Amino acid sequence: MILVTGGAGFIGSHTCVELLDAGYEIAIIDNFSNSRPDVLDKIRTITGKDFKFYEADLLDRDKVELIFKENKIDSVIHFAGFKAVGESVSIPLKYYHNNITSTLILCETMAKYGCKKIVFSSSATVYGDPATVPIKEDFPLSTTNPYGATKHMIERILTDLYVSDNEWSIALLRYFNPIGAHESGLIGENPNGIPNNLVPYIARVAVGTLDVLNVFGDDYNTHDGTGVRDYIHVVDLSKGHVKAVEKVSKSTGVEAYNLGTGTGYSVLDVVKAYEKASGKKINYKITDRRPGDIAMCYADPAKSLNELGWKAEFDLERMCKDSWNFTVKNS
Ligand code: WQD
CB atoms within 10 A of CB 13: 28
Atom of ligand 1 nearest to the CA of 215: 30
Check: CB of residue 99 under 8 Å from CB of residue 55: no
At residue 305, what is the residue type? L
Whether residue 147 lies in the annotated active site:
yes
From 147, 201, 231, 298, the catalytic residue: 147
Atom of ligand 1 nearest to the CA of 290: 33
Average pLDDT over residues 16-26: 98
**Residue 71 pLDDT grade (very low, low, confident, very high; cuts 50, 70, 90):** very high
Residue located nearest, by CA, to atom 1 of ligand 1: 198
- Return the HEC string of the chain: CEEEECCCCHHHHHHHHHHHHCCCCEEEEECCCCCCCHHHHHHHHHHCCCCEEEECCCCCHHHHHHHHHHCCCCEEEECCCCCCHHHHHHCHHHHHHHHHHHHHHHHHHHHHCCCCEEEEEEEHHHHCCCCCCCECCCCCCCCCCHHHHHHHHHHHHHHHHHHHCCCCEEEEEEECEEECCCCCCCCCCCCCCCCCCHHHHHHHHHHCCCCCEEEECCCCCCCCCCCEECEEEHHHHHHHHHHHHHHHHHCCEEEEEEECCCCCEEHHHHHHHHHHHHCCCCCEEEECCCCCCCCEECECCHHHHHHHCCCCCCCHHHHHHHHHHHHHHCC
Average pLDDT over residues 266-289: 98
Asked if the model's pLDDT at residue 190 lies above 90, the reply is: no
Asked if the model's pLDDT at residue 90 lies above 90, the reply is: yes
Handedness of CA 109, 110, 112, 113 (dihedral sign): positive
pLDDT value of position 54: 98
pLDDT value of position 193: 87
- Is 161 close to ligand 1, i.e. is its CB under 6 Å away? no
Mean pLDDT taken over the chain: 97
**Residue 80 pLDDT grade (very low, low, confident, very high; cuts 50, 70, 90):** very high
- Ligand 1 pocket, mutate which of 212, 293, 296, 323 (most atoms under 8 A from CB): 293
Asked if the model's pLDDT at residue 177 lies above 90, the reply is: yes
Residue located nearest, by CA, to atom 32 of ligand 1: 198
| Residues 96-133 pLDDT 10s | 999 999 999 999 999 999 999 999 999 999 999 999 99
Q: Which of 57, 31, 28, 62 is nearest to 43 (CA)?
A: 28
Average pLDDT over residues 285-298: 96
Asked if the model's pLDDT at residue 95 lies above 90, the reply is: yes
Cα–ligand 1 centroid distance for 197 (angstroms): 5
- Is 298 close to ligand 1, i.e. is its CB under 6 Å away? no
pTM: 0.97
Angle between the 267-278 and 316-329 helix axes, to the nearest 10 degrees? 60
- Is 123 close to ligand 1, i.e. is its CB under 6 Å away? yes
Residue located nearest, by CA, to atom 26 of ligand 1: 197
Cα Rg of the chain (Å, integer): 19
* Cis amide linkage into residue 200, ω under 30° from 0: no
Asked if the model's pLDDT at residue 33 lies above 90, the reply is: yes
Residue located nearest, by CA, to atom 27 of ligand 1: 197
Average pLDDT over residues 148-154: 98
Check: CB of residue 202 under 8 Å from CB of residue 194: no
Q: Cα torsion at 203, 204, 207, 208 (round to 10°)? A: -150
Residues of the chain with pLDDT > 90, as a percent, come to 98
Average pLDDT over residues 248-274: 98
Asked if the model's pLDDT at residue 192 lies above 90, the reply is: no
CA distance 21 to 10: 17
Q: Which of 208, 78, 84 is nearest to 154 (CA)?
A: 78
Instruction: Compute the half-sphere exposure of residue 238: CA atoms within 13 Å on the CB side of its CA.
Output: 26
CA distance 128 to 293: 10
Asked if the model's pLDDT at residue 199 lies above 90, the reply is: yes
| Residues 303-323 pLDDT 10s | 999 999 999 999 999 999 999
Average pLDDT over residues 177-198: 95
